[in-house]
Every structure is written in C-alpha cells, then in structure tokens.
Copies of this chain bind each other. A is one copy, B any other.
Amino acid sequence: MRISELAREAGTTPRALRYYEEQGLLRPARLASGYRHYDPQAVGTVRHIQLLLSAGLNTSAIAEILPCIPDGVTVLAPTCPELLDALAVERARITTSIDRLAAARDVLDRLIQAGPAAGDQS
C-alpha cells in the first residue's frame, strides 16, 4: 500500500509516517518510481507507535521496542537485558503518570460534584 492509504488506515498523516521512517521506526520498500511501499502489517506497527507515543515514550525508545513486535502483532522476547531495564523504567513512568492523571481527575470530580449542587432544591 502507498503512504496515504496507510495513513488513512492507521489514522494519521503521510508526514507523520515519513517522520517515523526518518526516526528509524519504519522501513518501507521503494518502488521504481521512488514511491514508498508498505505491507499490510505496517498498519499494526503504526498503531503501536501511536499508542506508545501517546504514552510518553519518545521515538528512540520505541525504535528499541519495535523489533520485538515484528509483524505488528506478535510479541518476541527482548534481545538484550538493557532493553528489559528500559522497559521497566518506562513502565514505572507510565504508572506514575496514570496515578497523577487519576489524582487530577479526582480534583475535577470534586469541582463537578460541587457544581450542580448549587441551588439544588431536592
């Protein structure tokens, strides 16, 4: 598939896909015309990239992880133990982040709770 089609399928833009390639996250084949050619597995890969990006991982961290998900679905064992350490660090960061988000949501909930009660006639 071509770049625009992959972008549609994965819910992103051609520019983002070129950026991912520049960062070493994707390695599309090239047609004689110079056009990039992606196989269908790339859809899952791109979705993983977006998910991990939205979780706060940067492209270099994702670049280390992606080889362990070669077809966008299967999960292989990480090669080096250093990667495992890095994974643990990122996992901890995510957990901390979730806790903070939950705490912030609690603050908003208290405000929302206090809100509609104003002038409550019941």
Contact = CB atoms under 8 A, between A and B. Distances in A.
A48 B105 contact: no
Contacts of A1: none
Interface residues of A, number: 41
Interface stretch (A15-23, A24-32, A33-41, A91-99): A91-99
Interface string A68-109: 110000011110000110011011001101101111110111
Given A84-B115, A87-B111, A91-B112, 20 more contacts: A54-B100, A55-B100, A55-B103, A57-B104, A68-B111, A68-B114, A69-B107, A75-B114, A77-B111, A77-B115, A77-B117, A78-B111, A83-B115, A87-B108, A87-B115, A88-B112, A91-B109, A94-B101, A95-B105, A98-B105
